[in-house]
A and B are shown apart, each in its own frame.
Chain A
Amino acid sequence: MFDLDRWKEIFDAILKNKLRTFLTGLSVASGIFILVILLGFGQGMHNGIAKEFSNDSANRIFVWTWRTTKEHKGLNPGRRIVMNNENAAYIEKAFGEYLDAKSPLLRVQTTSITYGKETLGYRVQGVGPDYQPIENEFMSEGRFLSEKDMAERAKVAVLSNKMKREVFKKDDEPLGKFIKISGVPFKIIGFYGDPGGDQEEQRIYIPFTTAQIVFNGSDTVNNLAYNLKPQATFDETVKASMEFSENLKTYLKQVHMVAPEDEGAIRVFNTLEQAKRFHNLTGGIKLFFWFVGICTIVAGVVGVSNIMLIVVKERTKEIGVRKALGAKPWSIVAMIVQEAVFVTAVSGFGGLIFSMGLLELVGPNIEVDYILNPSVNFQVAITTVFLLIGAGVLAGFFPAWRAARMSTIDALRDE
């Protein structure tokens, strides 16, 4: 292998057949190049989607209930399922480790909201203090609901910026004033804004406990809303989120005697489900890229063996002459295999360096949605190159072996 003279023989052969060598090398280099670029973009899409979903407060779960659709334990379908305080408390206790923020929600069925003589056409919802981060509300003035409001069942309300513009345009200082909800006065303690814009600013928030006591008189909970704790990686976050959703459903179905396969009664909306779908898609795309890349490399290897076959055919006479002059069969095999390996190795590494360099240079500058910093695992790439070199050995070996086995007379007669 490290015989200097043999290397010289090989370099001679390579240099005297530049085009042939170039074409062989090109097929290998482009195979590696395409593989690395494809893998890089697969990773880029993965990164991009992970980012797209991680900076959202996307890790949100929303639970609501409806009628059962299946008969279960002697209960008729069509039963209206209603959650209660006990459910909310149990979930907090049992699955607390998952939760970052939690809030029950009660929609107040109200007839009138008034400010002075003015009638307001908004919805009223009883929520907890955590509802602010869950809905991504930001405070423009005053404060949001607090635990103290909840405990004291305070008659306070948080209104939106939109309402302030529409209702309080003449007033300089609406904070501390009162609005009446179904005749009950509520003190305005703050104004919120929502990144979603005006449509998301139609709700008046009052403490959940107050809402239950004043407008409902029972322990009904319409919705449960949660923000989940982010985990170390996106995949883990998704996993935890799915786990929580399932546990939640199972618990609620059990406690309300809903058939386990009844998907209508207990409904859970999980924002990460969407993300996960994208995530699976990138997984699929990555797999596809691998497949295409490997096919390209196989094509490269076939190309190399093809060219080596031609090389051997072209050099049959030369091989005959060499044998007549005293070349042993193994030295012929070694010569051709070494040439094949050398060409695949050099062009393989060339393709690798070129493609990785390109990813390194261009990758961070790519500003396309859902593609972020395409890069490739060096280990994977280098393994591929070595596999390719191994394939080059095989590709060179069989034609070489055939040539070495050919009778010298026949080889010499070859024109």
Chain B
Amino acid sequence: MIQIKDLHKSYKMGSNSLHVLKGIDFNVEDGELVAIMGSSGSGKSTLLNILGMLDNADTGDYILDGVPIKNLNETKAAQYRNKFLGFIFQSFNLINYKTAAENVALPLYYQKVGRKERQEKALKYLEQVGLKEWATHLPSELSGGQKQRVAIARAMAAEPKVLLADEPTGALDSKTSYEVMDLIQKINDAGNTILVVTHEPDIADMCKRIVHLRDGVIVEDKKVEQVRAQQYV
């Protein structure tokens, strides 16, 4: 699903440049649930941004579902993001004046899906995350866990190839975190490919594979026995 080869990225900081990613080689198969771990400054966010086409690599190859991602202009990148990727953010990033259902329907709007179908799909995905009754509520009326579940439903709505979750539990307490991880595991069970950036070992343990980043290189890449979040809920 994802193939990355010798990926380099550096940022210019005044006169000297900061080499953040120093040659990443990394493949993700269809249906994997991968945790990307590392301390801050290890380059994990930069990697996720590049994977999410929010940022461009300096050198190296990135192939997503057989499509080489290179030299995209903004319009093309937007199109690819919409088609291939679903984002789950640490701070949820719901649009605060839209209801839960409208938030979920937003990526479909950019896919030019008709209004009726959008509403149906939005409700379907809200149901999947167990929030169908909250469809008409504004984000401000939802708890943190509920917000993240709406965000997950939104990421799912466009039926992307890959879900990218950036610290999805970073703003949640541990009980809610496990609920969200339970949901993510279930989505993964249904066959979706998911990448989770986290620095929490217990969250990482709930994935099927853990990739450790340190100083811009992968220091460890191992498959793990998945801890089911269900038992903590």
Contacts and interface: CB of A to CB of B under 8 A. Distances in A.
B97 interface: yes
B110 A329 contact: no
Given A322-B95, A323-B81, 6 more contacts: A323-B78, A324-B54, A326-B82, A327-B78, A404-B74, A412-B89
Contact of A326 (B55, B81, B89, B94): B81
A173 to B, nearest CB: 96
A322 B94 CA distance: 10
Contacts of A322: 95, 106, 110
A325 B55 contact: no
A352 to B, nearest CB: 30
B8 interface: no
A13 interface: yes
15 contacts: A12-B102, A318-B95, A320-B93, A323-B81, A324-B93, A325-B158, A326-B78, A326-B79, A326-B111, A328-B110, A329-B75, A407-B55, A408-B54, A409-B54, A409-B55
A321 interface: yes
Interface string B78-117: 1101110001010001110110001000110111000100
Nearest to A15: B97
A162 interface: no
B52 interface: yes
Contacts of B74: 323, 328-329, 404-405
Interface in A326-363: 326-331
Contact of B52 (A9, A317, A318, A324): A324
Nearest to B89: A412
Lowest 4 A-B CB distances belong to which pairs? A326-B82, A16-B97, A326-B110, A325-B107
Nearest to A323: B78
Contacts of A329: 74-75, 78
B49 A409 contact: yes
Nearest to B55: A409
A321 B93 contact: yes
B154 interface: yes
A319 to B, nearest CB: 10
Contacts of B79: 326, 328
A228 B213 CA distance: 101
Interface in A379-415: 404-405, 407-409, 412
A13 B79 CA distance: 23
Given A321-B93, A324-B54, A5 B109 contact: yes
A328 B110 CA distance: 8
A12 B83 CA distance: 25
A75 to B, nearest CB: 89
A326 B107 contact: yes
Given A330-B75, A408-B54, A409-B54, A325 B97 contact: no
A17 interface: yes
Contact of B98 (A12, A17, A323, A412): A12
Interface in B94-153: 94-95, 97-98, 102, 106-107, 109-111, 115
A324 B110 contact: no
Contacts of B102: 12
A154 B74 CA distance: 103
Contacts of B95: 318, 321-322
A326 B158 contact: yes
Contacts of B55: 407, 409
Interface in B9-46: none
Most buried by B among A4, A324, A331, A407: A324
Contacts of A404: 74
Interface string B57-90: 0000000000000000011001101110001010
B98 A325 contact: no
Contacts of B107: 325-326
A330 B76 CA distance: 12
Nearest to B166: A412
A325 B106 contact: yes
Nearest to B74: A329
B155 to A, nearest CB: 9
Given A16-B97, A17-B97, A325 B49 contact: no
Interface in A8-22: 9, 12-13, 16-17
Contacts of A326: 78-79, 81-83, 107, 110-111, 158
Nearest to B112: A5
A267 B175 CA distance: 105
Contacts of A405: 74
Contacts of B83: 326
Given A325-B154, A326-B158, A412 B93 contact: yes
B117 to A, nearest CB: 12
A307 B161 CA distance: 39
B179 to A, nearest CB: 23
Interface in A230-278: none
Contacts of B106: 322, 325
Contacts of A331: 110
Contacts of B154: 325
A325 B79 CA distance: 9
B89 A327 contact: no
A4 B114 CA distance: 10
A357 to B, nearest CB: 34
Interface string B179-205: 000000000000000000000000000
A326 B52 CA distance: 11
B82 A325 contact: yes
A195 B111 CA distance: 85
Nearest to B138: A16
Contacts of A330: 75
Contacts of B78: 323, 326-329
Contact of A12 (B75, B97, B115): B97
